[in-house]
Structure 1
């Protein structure tokens, strides 16, 4: 049959190159199932409103069930998008006098905006579950390594001793903020534009609240122009994904560096490594390197979306077709990266002896020694900083006589007479005692880390239940939608 979209207004058809240039069918694979759901909900609503007869809606819904079962590959791919291809297939099955009524009171503009939101919320839910999982992996690591000494860094230089638990909890907390952002973003994604039609609503007496309910949206996007033309929800999602990916690259970078011979802090599982085509001894952290590199997909997609949406006049413009492939690419990359990062962390071997040995390299206990001089000798911190800074020039670890000499040089008096003892110096230079002294909230003290792990586990359980509840509510609503579909088709 002729093109159901172009046959009225347009006399000629695009050539093959133009069709390839303008079609969205490749990206539309992502929204095939969502499009069927939107058609289901719209048809049920039209029937309940008396806009189409129940006998016709039964045939339409039965035809849609067949289209869904056949899958996207059965559609005619000469059409410019999934919506027209799907409608054309429906008309092939049930005839135009029936199937041609499905699109009443609707435009592709509100239809595609609804489909994207439906599919994107599904991906966001999956992403939230993966964020919960990787945080649980980090909590598990932290729980096992509360007393595993390691050097902490600033400027990638040895700074102060800390623990592997403290380090893992830092990554966990950053990803926790990502989960919060994803949950907030979901609330704005899960709003219904359906019923806005092309941009000026419709003269049919539709019920937007009913389609919102059937499709499990939380709210309606009220203004019909905004509903069809806004893609800020894509930009927001891409921004959330960029934050996640940037945080994952920090983990990836450490896995790459830590697994090098110079560090040897960890060894990645063979599953996440490769070897050289020429150097048989090599074990390369390729998966971590790729994770680090794939952040470019996320940040690139965000910039692309911002650029596409910049300066577009109201309401709908075809430019927006170019936006959706970027979000799907970004989502796919992020979700895979979360799973891979969790796997690398869960399976890596941690070389505790090397970490402990390196925990004091570079005089990492210097800060605690300065603090000890302040506490025990009643001198200003800046003076203590100068004394210990002078000691840091030495090749060996300072003892009490070295400290006494430096103190006399700078203060002009004895630190021993001010109360400094050899035991105090010994304790200040002990990395684990350094850590145990740091028992403020968020510090590396093993007991405090244990408290922090307990708090986060409780919070993570709440967030996991929240995500599960959102998913359950959507499943329940879509089950009710299918119940309505089945009721309308049972006599056909």
Structure 2
């Protein structure tokens, strides 16, 4: 029996899972995913060994041996572990390798004061915080593009649609500013959802802490967390940070799906408000005239995957005991990884289509005219002249009905004086209308109240969102800098321990220094 199998087949179990079951439960033990997981595991082990040595829970010689072997594995991209069976999971394969290489007296002390439970929870958080940082960074890129395009098209007049019907005049830039507002909330939601990633679970052990004199604050610091474990049971029992991030990701995905829905609708020949360059469309395999902005469909479909992943995660967690549970720690979070990758792809595609979308100003302005979008503004002008709003609303609505019946396509086709006379006759009073009252662009310029697209209102909103964007970028940059600093501290502590051991490696270590 090899040292590896001997290390595994002791204690309460005299055998391991069969290869088929182990492959299902523990996954493959080769490839990039294995290396990435071991990279996180060994980072945790570096911090743990440094702490154990500083607390004199293991000797400096054993710590140096362990850290040297871990360093070698990391530098070699874990080549020695590739292709080996992992009957009880990747961590125990790796620990068995250390025992095989260094003996139980050294390799067997690595797990002092620890369980696979708190190790797994910590590795989970290390992975999740990297994924979250990447998502926030990409959403900030998308928001920057959105804000830039919004400013560029702030006076590109188009209809504001309500229930797919033209309602009032707005601008393409103002529409995009609304998307930027939604993205601001989505980014803030993801950041807040990730607050649980500040706490390091190490020290929780199996879920009830430990009587070993650990220093959880030290390991937390070396791994870039800001807080040590506070309650062992919660640290092991819960993966709610993943669920919160998934929930926030669903909302971000909905924003992108709704944006894609509008762009897809507006790019149809029936609307013809937006067009896309050739590199953002596909051509039908059978219909040579057809240009398909299919990336928008991919963006929309991705939201369904996000919703499905969140549903699967919460359904798996439901009715599990509030303690260590594979359902929660493994099966419950499994859908989340692919879903968060999907959101990342969704954001990337949204950046491409939003940056590439070309609004058609003449068609947009024509839509504002033909949709009689200044009708509400006309009613408001009558109110300013002393007409009760409901009376003004009724009279203006009847006038629109009459003009459509007469084949008139917009208010601009009728002289303002004639329109005023017809409204006055309906209301039994004299009213006044000028050319500016019938011009969608002039109406847009006047909507400076209630968050409308007027110049002052637009500038205030854009300035506020740009300021918020800069704050979010600074916070993300500072957090990434803090984690890099933690990695450097850990590397220095590891090097100091290794350098403090001058003895050569024992024979049988493959000639490593």
TM range (shorter): over 0.9
Q: Which residue of 1 aligns with 2:373?
A: 364
Name which of 336, 339, 348 aligns with 2:357: 348
Q: CA deviation at 1:353?
A: 1.6
- Three-state SS of the structure 1 residue aligned to 2:202 is coil
- Three-state SS of the structure 2 residue aligned to 1:18 is helix
Name which of 361, 378, 399 aligns with 1:391: 399
Q: Which residue of 1 aligns with 2:442?
A: 433
Q: Which residue of 2 aligns with 1:287?
A: 295
Q: Which residue of 1 aligns with 2:190?
A: 182
Name which of 310, 318, 332 aligns with 1:323: 332
Name which of 460, 470, 475 aligns with 2:479: 470
Name which of 453, 461, 471 aligns with 1:444: 453
- Three-state SS of the structure 2 residue aligned to 1:160 is strand
Give aligned pairs, total: 483
Cα contact 2:8–2:96 (8 A) shared by 1: no
Q: Which residue of 1 aligns with 2:55?
A: 49
Runs of at least 5 residues in structure 2 that lack an aligned partner in the other structure: 503-513
Separation of aligned partners in 1, 2:79 and 2:369:
62
Q: CA deviation at 1:5?
A: 3.3
Change (3 A) 1:147 1:299: same
Q: Which residue of 1 aligns with 2:23?
A: 20
Separation of aligned partners in 1, 2:57 and 2:393:
81
Q: Which residue of 1 aligns with 2:312?
A: 304
- Three-state SS of the structure 2 residue aligned to 1:313 is coil
Separation of aligned partners in 1, 2:296 and 2:36:
28
Cα contact 2:47–2:219 (8 A) shared by 1: yes
State the TM-score, normalizing by the size of structure 1: 0.93
Deviation readout 1:374-420 (Å, 9 max, x if unpaired): 112x01101101001111212124544355335434x3x23x2xxx2
Separation of aligned partners in 2, 1:236 and 1:73:
36
Q: Which moved more, 1:214-223 or 1:463-472?
A: 214-223
Q: What's the Cα RMSD here?
A: 1.9
- Three-state SS of the structure 1 residue aligned to 2:396 is helix
Q: CA deviation at 1:441?
A: 5.4
Separation of aligned partners in 2, 1:430 and 1:406:
18
Q: Which residue of 2 aligns with 1:82?
A: 90
Residue 148 of structure 1 pairs with residue 148 of structure 2: no
Name which of 52, 65, 72 aligns with 1:66: 72
Separation of aligned partners in 1, 2:107 and 2:287:
64
Separation of aligned partners in 2, 1:119 and 1:234:
11
Separation of aligned partners in 2, 1:82 and 1:403:
80
Name which of 428, 439, 459 aligns with 2:468: 459
Separation of aligned partners in 2, 1:337 and 1:72:
33
Separation of aligned partners in 2, 1:44 and 1:353:
67
Runs of at least 5 residues in structure 1 that lack an aligned partner in the other structure: none
Q: CA deviation at 1:484?
A: 0.5
Q: Which residue of 2 aligns with 1:408?
A: 425
Cα contact 2:194–2:244 (8 A) shared by 1: no
State the TM-score, normalizing by the size of structure 2: 0.90
Name which of 160, 166, 187 aligns with 1:158: 166
Q: Which moved more, 1:64-73 or 1:469-478?
A: 64-73
Q: CA deviation at 1:314?
A: 2.8
Separation of aligned partners in 2, 1:87 and 1:441:
63
Separation of aligned partners in 1, 2:298 and 2:114:
44
Cα contact 1:225–1:315 (8 A) shared by 2: yes
- Three-state SS of the structure 2 residue aligned to 1:153 is strand
Separation of aligned partners in 2, 1:57 and 1:230:
31
Change (3 A) 1:164 1:64: same
Q: Which moved more, 1:313-322 or 1:65-74?
A: 65-74
Q: Which moved more, 1:310-319 or 1:395-404?
A: 395-404
Cα contact 1:266–1:351 (8 A) shared by 2: yes
Residue 231 of structure 1 pairs with residue 239 of structure 2: yes
Separation of aligned partners in 2, 1:235 and 1:80:
27
Q: Which moved more, 1:378-387 or 1:249-258?
A: 249-258
Residue 10 of structure 1 pairs with residue 13 of structure 2: yes
Cα contact 1:46–1:206 (8 A) shared by 2: yes
Cα contact 2:46–2:67 (8 A) shared by 1: yes
Q: Which residue of 1 aligns with 2:179?
A: 171
Q: Which moved more, 1:444-453 or 1:214-223?
A: 444-453
Q: Which moved more, 1:442-451 or 1:250-259?
A: 442-451
Deviation readout 1:433-460 (Å, 9 max, x if unpaired): 1111101252101343233222322221
Name which of 118, 121, 128 aligns with 2:136: 128
Change (3 A) 1:298 1:438: same
Separation of aligned partners in 2, 1:200 and 1:451:
52
Q: CA deviation at 1:25?
A: 4.9
Separation of aligned partners in 2, 1:407 and 1:221:
74
Q: Which residue of 2 aligns with 1:35?
A: 41
Q: Which moved more, 1:106-115 or 1:57-66?
A: 57-66
Separation of aligned partners in 2, 1:105 and 1:392:
79
Residue 208 of structure 1 pairs with residue 216 of structure 2: yes
Separation of aligned partners in 1, 2:422 and 2:463:
46
Deviation readout 1:52-100 (Å, 9 max, x if unpaired): 1111111111111122233356423433422222222333333333111
Separation of aligned partners in 2, 1:300 and 1:6:
40
Cα contact 1:391–1:403 (8 A) shared by 2: no
- Three-state SS of the structure 1 residue aligned to 2:182 is helix
Q: Which moved more, 1:62-71 or 1:121-130?
A: 62-71
Cα contact 1:67–1:89 (8 A) shared by 2: no
Q: Which residue of 2 aligns with 1:104?
A: 112
Separation of aligned partners in 2, 1:30 and 1:430:
60
